[in-house]
Every structure is written in C-alpha cells, then in structure tokens.
Chain A
Amino acid sequence: MTERIINPVTAEELVDRAKQYLQNGYRLIQICCTKTPSEMYLLYSFEKLDLTLENLRLDVQSGDTIPSISDVYFAAFLYENEIHDLYGINVSGMAVDFQGTFYETAVKQPFNIIAADMKE
C-alpha cells in the first residue's frame, strides 16, 4: 500500500484531526474496524475530489469508548453505529445513535466475540 497514507491518531486527537481533514477539502468515505494481535484498530478514510486518499489509524481496545466524528462528518454515524453493533466499541456523541439496533444480529457484537475467541 505504498501510495496510501495511514497516519496514527489517538482518541483525544481524533475529532481535531477530522476537522483538519474537513478544512483541507477531504470528505469521509468510510470507517472500518480491524483486529490486530493486541486488539483492534479503526481505519478512517478521507478522500479529496481529486481522489487523493488518506487514512487515520486509531488503536482501540474492546469495550473502549471513542468520540464520534459525526459532528464534523455527519455520514460518520452510519459507520460508527456499524462498528458499535458488530465490534462492541462504544462511540460517544453520535449524530444518530441507533442504541445497538442498527444491526439486529442474533449474537450481540458478533465480530467482537469471535475476536475474543481467537485470542484464547
């Protein structure tokens, strides 16, 4: 992924970094969660209209609460609800909070549980 830029970010810096991207003409195109051997990380992808792509990487632990960026990028609420429902990461201050009903899965936070199983 040589042409892709992934910048690390902390939960405290996240909202400010998102604002910087907004000011620089980027828009949010996705957020996804990925497991790592230690725990998980979130990948925030931002794109300019000229198709330049940059990403932020936020390391998280299962059950952590991270700030929402939906005040900066409204569309973030969809991804944040998805990550909450599938991975069990709490997101505070979402513009639209489905309270865990966005994905009504038979097993709550299914991806998180399997991740925990794999660590054992």
Chain B
Amino acid sequence: MGERTIIPFGPQHPVLPEPLHLDLIMEDEKVVGAVPSIGFVHRGLEKLVEKRDFNEMIYVIERICGICSFIHGQSYAQTLEGLMGVDIPPRAKYLRTIWAELSRVHSHLLWLGLMADAYGFESLFMHCWRIREKVLDIFEETTGGRVIFSVCKIGGVWKDIDNDTLNRIKVIVKDIGEEAKAVTDVFVRDYSVQKRTRGIGVVTYQEAIDLGAVGPTLRGSGVVQDMRTLGYAAYGDLNFEPIVEKDGDCYARTVVRVREVYQSLDLIRQCIEKIPDGEVDMKVKGNPSGEYISRMEQPRGQTFYYAKGNGTKYLERFRVRTPTFANIPTLLKILPGADLADVPVLALTIDPCISCTER
C-alpha cells in the first residue's frame, strides 16, 4: 500500500468554478476515498418564503441558478398552481415548454464546453459556447433577458411569442442542430475523447438506482426515467422517449447529453408546430393552502418541489431538492479507484450545479 495523502479539490478549481470541496484521499495517483463539503454559499432561500409574498417569491426562485433559472421558475409556478388548483391556458404550457427546452439546450451545450475544457480541448469548448449564444439570443429576443427571464408567473407566463417569431425560431433551431453536429461528433467519435471517458467512472444500472442518481447520470446507466413523461406543461402532447445509454461510464453520460440536445431541438419544433392560439395567463385569486409536490426534469435531472401553504400570502414551507444534491452519492461512488487526472472529468459528468444545491 502506498503512502496516503489528502488532496483538497476545491472549493475553487479551474474546472469547477463553484464552491464544492472534496477531500480526495490518495494512494499515489489513485483516489481511494472522497469526503465532500458543501454549504459555502448556502442562501437559505427555503426560509425566505416565510417573509416574501408567494407571488414575489418566483423572482427569487428563478435566481437559484442561472442555467436552470427558467425551469426553477416553472417548477415553482407549477407547484403553486397545483396547490391552488389552477389549470393554466394551453398556449402558456407550450411557451413554458419551449423556453424550458431551450434552457436544456443551452445547459447541455454549456456543459459540453466545460467537458471539452476539462480534457484540454479549448477550441471545442469555444465552439460549444458559440452555438449556445444563439439560444441566448432567442431568450433575449423573446423575454428581454439572457440569463434570468422573469417570464413565468403563477397562472401562466407574462409574455407571448407571436407566431412569426416562433416560425423564425424554428429555422434558428434547425440551424443550431446542423451547427452542433460537427461539434458533438467530436464528443461521440474522437479517439482522444473516448480514451478519457470510456470505461471511466462506471455506475451500473443497479448502483444508479440505489444511489438515487437522476437525469443523464441515471439514464447513462441504462435506467429509463425522465420526469417529462409525467406529461406536465405540454409534454403530454409531444412525441418523445427518454434517452438512455447503457455503459454507465463518463462516455455514456456525455452521449446522453449530446442526444438530448437534438431531442430538445425536436421538442421545440414540435411545440411550434402544435402551439394553440389563445391567452397566455389567467388571474389567480386567493392564497395557497395545503401541501403539494411537483417533480420536473431539469437539464441535470429530476427536481423535487414541495410547498405548504396556510391560507396566508406567505408559504409555511418550501422545499427544493435539486438534481446535483441527488447525484452527490453517485459522485462519491465513482471517485474511489480513479486516477487523479480523471477527477475533473468525473466530477463534471454528474454536471454539478452548486448554485442549485446551495439554494
């Protein structure tokens, strides 16, 4: 047995500029254990609901994270709508789905860029982010914001997208798909990339279930589960199947995300073709009472929202279980046995979002 040393990974590290700290217990170049620390930037947002009107709170919730911002707002709105028995207009459901899937595209392209950066493909990193800019431009044109949109409200959405703009978005989305092809081919086919990802950080089917993995981390191990199949928003009207890869390694998790980019682009196209005319919001009266659970699929996986109202304008309890939190046990499983050089890639393959985790 080699001499054991502890290498602190984080809380600030070039590959993960978010405050996650791991004490890596090393034997020579091998990781034999990992102890996580989180909580460096915990914001106590779950507590803030007791002091903020439940309608105002949506603007706080969508600031949980810049990348999942829209879907956090959507999840909160959907939870409160469930709590208050509100069925929003169909057009609003489609608009939410379009913005949510655009969010997934930009999140996955951002992640692919970071992954390229992690194994030293700087040019690939920049190409991923260049393509992502087109998605941000759509956000800016349709909502006024590139990161935080503030377009979701309890009862629908604040803004409509006219049909001409939607048709133009359909063309842009097609272009994004064509441009992305050359880039994503590198992740799927390049020899060097495969050397860094194939057979590394394997999570078996059963381990992924037992460890509570979610999202691409779960589906990369062959488990068919996607919250969108619950049929919330417009997903019940759309034709899609969860994307699954079987190998459970870094490569499989990467390929799931690559394929999900194209799946999301297709879902946006379907939404634009099927979107009904009509109102995009409705008046919601009264205050929430009772409790409600909502589960949704963020780019990183399942998010769990729980809200408890007491008939006042302040919620009594609000809970967000984010996908990164659920994927931490999986990260702790894949690190032992890995080479130190693979740690950045392994940490990235669960797509950790500490911003979401420290809500």
Contacts and interface: CB of A to CB of B under 8 A. Distances in A.
Interface in A67-117: 73-75, 77-78, 85, 101-105, 110-111, 114
Contacts of B47: 110-111, 114
Contact of A53 (B211, B293, B308, B329): B293
Q: Is the interface of A mostly helix, strand, loop or mixed?
A: mixed
Interface in B48-92: 50, 82
Interface residues of A, number: 29
A49 B209 contact: yes
A51 B325 contact: no
A1 B304 contact: no
A75 B306 contact: no
Interface in A1-29: 1, 4, 27-29
Contacts of A34: 306, 308, 316-317, 319
A43 interface: yes
A45 interface: yes
Given A78-B328, A110-B44, A27 B209 contact: yes
B37 interface: yes
B210 interface: yes
Contacts of B44: 110
Contact of A75 (B211, B292, B295, B317): B211
Contacts of B302: 29
A68 B319 CA distance: 20
B342 interface: no
B152 to A, nearest CB: 22
A66 B329 CA distance: 22
Contacts of B329: 74-75, 77-78
B229 A51 contact: yes
Contacts of B317: 34-35
Interface of B: 37-39, 42, 44, 47, 50, 82, 209-212, 223-225, 227, 229-230, 290-293, 295, 302, 304, 306, 308, 316-317, 319, 321, 325-326, 328-329
Given A45-B304, A102-B39, A104-B39, 6 more contacts: A4-B293, A29-B302, A35-B317, A45-B293, A102-B37, A105-B42
8 contacts: A4-B293, A27-B209, A49-B224, A73-B210, A74-B329, A104-B39, A105-B39, A110-B47
